[in-house]
Amino acid sequence: MRVLVTGTAGFIGCEVALRLLRAGHEVCGFDNLNPYYDVRLKHARLSRLCGFDGFTQHVAELADRAAVDRAFAQFRPQRVVHLAAQAGVRYAAENPHAYISSNVTGFLHVLEACRQQQVEHLLFASTSSVYGANPGMPFSESHPTEHPLSLYAATKKANEQMAHSYAHLFGIPCTGLRFFTVYGPWGRPDMALFKFAVAMAHDREIELYSYGRHARSFTYIDDVVTGIERLLHRVPAPQPLLETMHGSPQILDPGVSPVAPYCVLNIGHATPVPLMEYVRQLELAMGKEAKKVFLPKQPGDVPESAACSQRLFDAVGFLPETSVAQGISRFVAWFREHPQFGGQEVGGQKAGGQEAGAP
């Protein structure tokens, strides 16, 4: 199968492409290699893919419509996994135009290219951040998402609505993936685990926002990739309305469209872990105690994210289950094997808030 993966120099995109290549699929990558964080890490991820005969790569901006159209026309993908985006909750307050250019305009170009090439299935990254001010736990796809707390989350909510409209108007099957706190080897250096490990390796303080009193559904990268791989083969279909005894139609599942081949699913570990336990597991894996600084809540942070991934299980018979003890141990082993990424300052944001829970 021919699969176009955007964001192949990114954390999740690289791992998805690697899994597909090992399974014998042809993969076309698309990434702009932007300097939001250490570009050397992005090049190192890509080097893991370049040894496969079935891999090709385009380096260009999603906002460049001609470049997106060219990549699609040359490769003619059967399916698309769209993971590229300007990431980061707090950075959106500093550079909002980057989020609109990449996450909204860029996604429009991907949708248009999927329409032109008659793609069989588009999977696209959303985020647990779309739940925003919703107080209900655990987060379910049927919960309201009308009150995002950051521009990043707003762009991802826009992606979900844009995809639904294209699924309805042009029959493009679309599956939105709401990721919860993805972590593991080759991860993003602007996120909590990587930043904490770097600080501890240099005997510096780690900064814990909300005074360390929040929790997340930390989800290990391999579990996320397994979910994506399985969903790639499960093409959504419209859900018919259910007629009630009083004659008024009702939707069986609010996360599945009644008028389009479209659905959204959570991909997250079912058990939220307190941040202090997350730090404790990192201390155990690194064999040293962290120097902790406790700070107030940051704008855009939510106190907790807890995933209900029952819909994922119903769809593909799989639930993320890697424990934070296992996942952090594997990350630390990788971190020690790659000192070139842990020996200097990386990323430009503070960790410990919602950024630690965004994809």
Catalytic positions are 152
Contact 92, 151 (CB under 8 A): yes
Type of residue found at 281: Q
- Taking the C-alpha atoms of residue 190 and residue 90, their distance in angstroms, rounded to an integer, is 11
Helix, strand, coil shares, percent, the chain, to 5: 40, 20, 40
Exposure of 213 by Cβ count < 10 A (0-12 exposed, 13-18 middle, 19+ buried)?
middle
Type of residue found at 233: H
- Taking the C-alpha atoms of residue 131 and residue 147, their distance in angstroms, rounded to an integer, is 7
Contact 184, 323 (CB under 8 A): no
- 285 to each of 149, 159, 194, 343, how far by Cα in Å? 33, 38, 13, 18
Contact 109, 31 (CB under 8 A): no
- Taking the C-alpha atoms of residue 349 and residue 355, their distance in angstroms, rounded to an integer, is 9
Contact 145, 254 (CB under 8 A): no
Comparing CA positions, the residue from 311, 329, 331, 327 lying closest to residue 319 is 311
212: left (phi over 0), alpha (psi -120 to 50) or beta: left
352: left (phi over 0), alpha (psi -120 to 50) or beta: left
The rounded radius of gyration (Å) of the Cα atoms in the chain is: 20
Dihedral sign (CA 294, 299, 300, 303): positive
Comparing CA positions, the residue from 285, 129, 90 lying closest to residue 207 is 90
